Structure 1
Amino acid sequence: MVTRGPDEWLETIKKCQALTENEMKQLCEMVKELLMEESNIQPVQTPVTVCGDIHGQFHDLLELFRTAGGFPDDINYIFLGDYVDRGYYSLETFTLLMCLKVKYPAKITLVRGNHESRQITQVYGFYEECLNKYGSTTVWKYCCQVFDFLTLAAIIDGKILCVHGGLSPEIRMLDQIRVLSRAQEVPHEGGFSDLLWSDPDNVEAWQVSPRGAGWLFGSKVAREFNHVNGLNLIARAHQLVMEGFKYHFPEKDVVTVWSAPNYCYRCGNVASVMKVEEDLEPTFKIFSAVPDDYIRESTANHNNQRAGYFL
């Protein structure tokens, strides 16, 4: 049998074809080795394209790359997490991103989302998908080990902080993120959890989040955090935005980037990626869902209902 490597794996996964269990083991080990070298706040230089939630919508991820201008050989990418769950192709989505990380390690940064978690993926689809596609949970376990090493944030030219969710009352300085121990399952509370779960909202300062984890934080909190840390902007994902992106406060210092069009194959939203050039002025490219998933939806074995939580 001919031994295949990362280049062959990438060509396979581009066609939405799963790798073998042994190939997934090798791939996950390679990615872990790369991620271990990254800091909790990974520095990234402009120009860069920032992408929000994908949630297993593999064919829309391919459309994202077409919209943004191609794979990372020519473009720097930051992905803000939530690669898996809800969509029908979480396995292929995360596998593609891992293959790209191996091929272009310095050009793609993968931030951890709240769905890159053992507990969450057992409820919202990824665990069951791996079980269905491989007949065991072994590949799910390999992927969960990778989740534990994903970075918690990225920072663009020292001025734009990229996280999945938002801020934490326990974190005032960026250095407090840098010293967190990230090689673990996402905790239920605390600064690590808040970075992945919090949301900006029209509140005075901090308010308990209806999600059951993280916090709601207001414009004053964001303004003070950015000032203390010399930031221009916080870019995050985590919330469905029908228009693809949204600035949350009058100061335009927090923005949500959403990259899963027609979320859950029924929400009807468009998606976006955020382009940041050397002038640090974000621009947004909007894209819509591709029809592939609608065609495949009828043949996919995903009839079971997921627990409600927030769309």
Structure 2
Amino acid sequence: MTNTIERDLTQKLEKNHLEASSTEKEAADIIKEQANEAFKNSDYGKAIELYTKAIQIHPDAILYSNRSFAYLRRGWYDYALIDAKKALEYDLNYIKAYYRRASAYMALGKYNSALCDYEYVIKACPNDKDATTKYEECKKAVTRIDFEKANAVDESTESAVNQIDLSSMTIEPDYDGPHLNVNGHVTKEFMSTLLPYLENQKILHKKYAYQIILQTLSLLKSLPTLVEITVPNKHKFTICGDIHGQYYDLLNIFKLNGLPSEENLYLFNGDFVDRGSFSIECVLTLFSFKLLYPNHFFLARGNHESMTMNQMYGFEGEVKAKYTAQMFQLFTEVFNYLPLAHCINKKILVIHGGLFSKDNVTLKDICAIDRVRQSPDEGLMGELLWSDPQPHNGRSKSKRGLGIQFGPDVTERFLKLNNLEYIVRSHEVKQQGYDMAHNKKCITVFSAPRYCDTMTNKGAFLTITGDDITPKFTSYAAVPHPAARPMTYAN
């Protein structure tokens, strides 16, 4: 009798559990469909939020894999990797999870790990053309890296400058574009012709492009890692964030806010290139303004001013398509000399990414960073270029796989130690183009609206004056551009 009662009770509990589980799955599926719709509309933040709710109700491989995909679209590669691995814990045979994990590994530069996952995918799905293409791309990357390691030599002997012979480059009679003056210098007249010329999808003559890049290299070599800027009273100073090859939106900034001049100062805070398909137009314009106004126009390095990022996200391919492979080598060298930080009126620190994994970092420490190299995976330079703020106190592992996440307490201690009012950084898409976090002491400005032609964000720039450092923001929508999709030149 007792055994019968226990058996009946067990069966009843199992039935109730199955019914509850079924109800939970139905609820999770409803939220998943909402998340899928948000993803289709390129609202990846909303999609992540909804996938998370569904996972909390009834986790499974599909939900983790879908959220991994949304993280990939946001550029949060470490989070994407974690979710892809989690999906495989729920279903070791779920092919899409291997694909997501491979994509995350690729974005993090872990090509050998990515290659193993892509091999698994194409064996399971031999007719999947996209997977086969990704596998071949990854295989090429592994081969290239192995070749570069095998043929590595002392960087000091490899300057691209020594390979360039300007005297052999002639200006053809039918060239109808802007000309540098007789001394090879950028002038206001040159800039007034250059901007509309590039806007009409024409290519600046190779000789002039090389001259601009070489002169910029020489100028950047004379600058410290942390540049001190003094903005006079009543003078406007504008800080712009990521441009990412969106040349027509760059022109719109100048239309809205005025062209750079000795009275209209600008700082562009890194990530001039990659993703957008007009990166060469952006960087040549910015370099030219730097040459024209060396003490009133400022450029900082972002995490995308690096060889690895440029090889993956389009700049290398674009330079090779519009100019030469040699020019890309030169750009890589120039990017190494871009300053990492700017301090305005001793009160505002402008850096691309964020703060550090340890306290007691001073402006003097930043100034002492050896910046003339590719961005390392750790240390002050890597954290400065890659880190992001988080809403809660303390520090956390980065969602990107590089740098850290830092809280309002970290910001407060850094500002107090260095006698600063606030920091300005970029590096992250924001819906209105800007964000004020950490009690308005950590400001993000992002200047690429409708990022990658898929996001719904606006762009923004920030303005202050020498006698009033209270930030004022201007948001703007994307403007039309020629029919060249983002990542056209990307590997």
TM-score, normalized by the shorter chain, greater than 0.5: yes
Distance 1:304-1:78 versus aligned 2 partners, 3 A rule: closer
Query: Do residues 45 (structure 1) and 230 (structure 2) align?
Result: yes
Distance in 1, matches of 2:266 and 2:320, equals: 30
SS at match of 1:289: coil
Quick check: 2-11 or 52-61, which moved more?
2-11
The aligned counterpart of 2:350 is 162
Map 1:209-228 onto structure 2 (within 5 A).
209-228=398-417
The aligned counterpart of 2:206 is 21
Distance in 2, matches of 1:230 and 1:290, equals: 40
Distance in 1, matches of 2:340 and 2:303, equals: 10
Query: Do residues 12 (structure 1) and 194 (structure 2) align?
Result: yes
TM-score (norm 2): 0.59
Contact 1:245 1:256 in 2 (8 A): yes
Q: Aligned letter for 1:289?
A: A
Distance in 2, matches of 1:14 and 1:181, equals: 38
Distance in 2, matches of 1:18 and 1:217, equals: 42
Higher Cα radius of gyration: 2
Distance in 1, matches of 2:487 and 2:454, equals: 14
Distance in 1, matches of 2:455 and 2:237, equals: 28
Quick check: 35-44 or 85-94, which moved more?
35-44
Distance in 2, matches of 1:303 and 1:155, equals: 33
Between structures 1 and 2, the one with greater strand share: 1
Distance 1:265-1:226 versus aligned 2 partners, 3 A rule: same
Contact 1:9 1:19 in 2 (8 A): no
Map 1:1-311 onto structure 2 (within 5 A).
4=180, 5=184, 6-7=186-187, 10=191, 11-16=193-198, 17-46=202-231, 47-134=236-323, 136-170=324-358, 172-249=361-438, 251-277=439-465, 278-291=467-480, 293=481, 296-297=482-483, 300=484
Aligned residues: 300
Contact 2:433 2:446 in 1 (8 A): yes
Q: Which has the higher contact order (CA 8 A, sep 6+)?
A: 1
Distance in 2, matches of 1:30 and 1:303, equals: 29
Distance in 2, matches of 1:9 and 1:139, equals: 21
Distance in 1, matches of 2:211 and 2:411, equals: 41
Distance in 2, matches of 1:116 and 1:67, equals: 26
Distance 1:101-1:302 versus aligned 2 partners, 3 A rule: same
Q: How many angstroms does 1:88 deviate by?
A: 1.1
Q: How many angstroms does 1:268 deviate by?
A: 1.9
Contact 1:203 1:216 in 2 (8 A): no
Distance 1:31-1:306 versus aligned 2 partners, 3 A rule: closer
Distance 1:122-1:20 versus aligned 2 partners, 3 A rule: same
Aligned-residue identity in percent: 34
Distance in 1, matches of 2:487 and 2:357, equals: 40
Distance 1:105-1:305 versus aligned 2 partners, 3 A rule: closer
Structure 1 segments (4+ residues) deviating >6 Å: none
Distance in 1, matches of 2:225 and 2:336, equals: 12
Q: Aligned letter for 2:211?
A: Q
Q: Aligned letter for 2:362?
A: M
Q: How many angstroms does 1:122 deviate by?
A: 0.2
